[in-house]
Amino acid sequence: MSKCTTLVALPEAIGALGGLKKLTLESSNLTVLPNAIGNLGALQVLNLRRCSRLTALPATIEGLGALKDLTLQNCSRLAALPDAISTLSALEELYLIGCSSLTALPAEIGGLDALTMLNLSECVSLTALPAAIGELKALTTLDLTRCESLAELPAAIGGLGVQGRRDLRPMVPWCRPFPPRNRAAVLADGQ
């Protein structure tokens, strides 16, 4: 259902599609997802790219136990992620590129044990990362390009594996102001 710009709502009946593996709602005009979205237990890919009117995700997303890829790119009105996101144990890739209203990530994000890619580029209102970011042991890529309001990185960022720090290093100049003690923690492997 990509580029269905007239689509403004999904029926609760979507929850009856228990075998659905991929749902693409790119460029629709949805403002919310129905609570029944949590019944899609086999869903592996949820693409909400360019759903610029989407304001929130329901807590029922905790039911998406097979979800591996969540794309929320350019969901410019999305101000927060539900705490329930931490229950998505299969989630490997989370794309929040251009979510310009997103000011913070839930502290519970450290529960995403399988997460390898976290792309926060152009989240211009993001002011901080939770300390739990250091608990993302599988994380190999953290993109903070153009996170203009990000004031500092938590000390726990040092808990990321060496690969995570290497992938972060090229993004450092885009984060301003950047406190020297945190820069040293991130660049500890040399320049």
Q: pLDDT digits over 50-104, tens only?
A: 999 999 999 999 999 999 999 999 999 999 999 999 999 999 999 999 999 999 9
Residue 111 in contact with residue 134, Cβ under 8 Å? no
Is 160 contained in some domain?
A: yes
Can you give the CATH number for the domain in which 147 is found? 3.80.10.10
Assign 6 a pLDDT band (cuts: 50, 70, 90).
Answer: confident
Is 72 contained in some domain?
A: no
Cα-Cα-Cα-Cα dihedral sign, residues 178, 180, 182, 183: positive
Residue 165 in contact with residue 185, Cβ under 8 Å? no
Number of domains in the chain: 1
Q: What domain range includes position 142?
A: 60-65+80-94+104-118+126-191
Is 24 contained in some domain?
A: no
Is 4 contained in some domain?
A: no
Residue 80 in contact with residue 108, Cβ under 8 Å? no
Is 135 contained in some domain?
A: yes
Assign 2 a pLDDT band (cuts: 50, 70, 90).
Answer: low
Is 173 contained in some domain?
A: yes
Is 21 contained in some domain?
A: no
Is 85 contained in some domain?
A: yes
